[in-house]
Structure 1
Amino acid sequence: NWTAGLNSYFAENPGAANALLVVSSALIDALGLFLLGRWLFGGSVRPFLGLFLLMTLRQLMQAVCALPPPPHMIWHYPGFPSLLVTYHVANDFFFSAHTAIAVFGALELTRCGRKWITVAAALLVIFEISAVLILRAHYTMDVFAGIVAAISVANLSERISPRLDRLISGGT
C-alpha cells in the first residue's frame, strides 16, 4: 500500500496531521467560497447549482451507502473551524466530498481561461485526493465516486443552467 508509510507518519505526528487537515479543509472552503462568488458575481447559476446538486447527491448516497470507517483513519477536529468540512461524523464516507468539491471547483476554475489557474486547479485536485487517501479518511472507491459525481454534476449543471439563467433574468 503506497500510503502506509505516510499514514503512519501522520498517525505518529498529530501536529502534522492537524496541519494537513487544516490546509486540506481550508482549500475546500476556499473552493466553496469561489463557487458561491462565481455564482453571485459571474452571471450564471451554474456554480451554485453544481455545488447544490453535488451536496444533495452526496447526502442521498450517504443515506443508502453506510460504510464503516477505514482502518487507520486519521480524521478529527484539528483545532481550526471549517465552513464546509465536518469532523465529527461516523458514516461520512461515500462519496468523498473533498474529492468531489475539488474536481467540480477545478472544472469551474478552468473556465477562467488561464493556463496557470488550470494547472493550479489540477494540483489542488491531486493534493486533495492524496490527503484523503493518506489520512485514510476515505476508501479508494469513495474518491473514484467523488470524481465521477463531480464530472457528472458539472455536465448536468452545464446543460441546465442556461435555462435557469434565462428564467432568473426574466427572459424566455
Structure 2
Amino acid sequence: MQTVYIVWAWVIEGRPRATISALFMFTCRGILGCSTQLPLPQEFLGSGVDFPVGNVSFFLFFSGHVAGAVIASLDMRRMQRRGLAWLFDILNVLQSLRLLATRGHYTIDLAVGLGAGILFDFLAGKYEQSKTTKTSTFSRSMKEIC
C-alpha cells in the first residue's frame, strides 16, 4: 500500500520527495541489513508467504515496512490528507503488533524503522531544498551573464 502511494506521488502527482526518501531508506536498510545479519529467533512463527521461505538467516534491522508507512504518512500530512495519514498510522501500529506477536521483528527493529522513516523524510526534504537552491542560484547566474 505504501509503495503504491509513494510511486503515485512521484509518477502521477510529480512530487518526488517520498520516493527519494524511500530510496534513501532502502539503500541504508540494505547496507545495515547485510552488515548486521542475524539468525531468525527460534520462536519465529513463519508462514509459507514469508520471504525468504523457511528458517534461514535474514536481516531484520530495521523494519522497512514501518519506515515506508511512516514516509507515506508524513507525505500525506504534507498534502493535507490527514484522514488517510491516520489510517496508515493505525495500520502501521497493527502491523507492528503482528510483527512482534509472530516474532517477525525485534522491538528495536520497529522503533528504529519509525525513526528511520522520519529521518529519511527529513533528509529527502533537505536534498530537494539543496537542489532547488542550486537551480535558482544557477538561473540567477545565467541571467546576470546574459
Relative to the length of structure 2, the TM-score reads: 0.80
Give the conservation status (yes or no) of the 8 Å contact 1:129–1:143: yes
Q: Is the 8 A contact 1:110 1:121 kept in 2?
A: no
Candidates 10, 13, 16, aligned match of 1:42: 13
Tell me by how many angstroms 1:38 deviates.
0.3
CA distance in 1, matches of 2:133, 2:7: 19
Is 1:110 paired with 2:77? yes
> What is residue 90 of structure 1 aligned with on the other side?
57
Q: Structure 1: how far apart are the matches of 2:84 and 2:130?
A: 28
Would you say the 8 A contact 1:99–1:129 is kept in 2? yes
**Matching residue of 2:124:** 157
Please, which runs of 5 or more residues in structure 1 have no aligned partner?
Answer: 1-29, 79-84
Q: Does 2:108 correspond to 1:141?
A: yes
Quick check: 1:122 aligned with 2:89? yes
d(CA) in 2 for partners of 1:98 and 1:160? 23
TM-score, reference length from structure 1: 0.69
**Aligned ranges 1:5-16 → 2 under 5 Å:** none
* Pair 163,69 (structure 1): closer, same or farther in 2 beyond 3 Å: same
Deviation at 1:155, TM superposition (A): 0.6
Quick one: distance in 2 between partners of 1:107 and 1:132? 22
Judge conservation of contact 1:106–1:125 (CA < 8 Å) in 2.
no
Cα offsets for 1:53-92 (capped at 9, x unmatched): 11001001012112221232123333xxxxxx84436222
Q: Paired residues, what number? A: 135
Give the distance between the partners of 2:48 and 2:64, measured in 1 at CA. Answer: 17
Aligned equivalents of 1:96, 1:40: Cα separation in 2: 25
Name which one, 1 or 2, has greater alpha-carbon Rg. Answer: 2
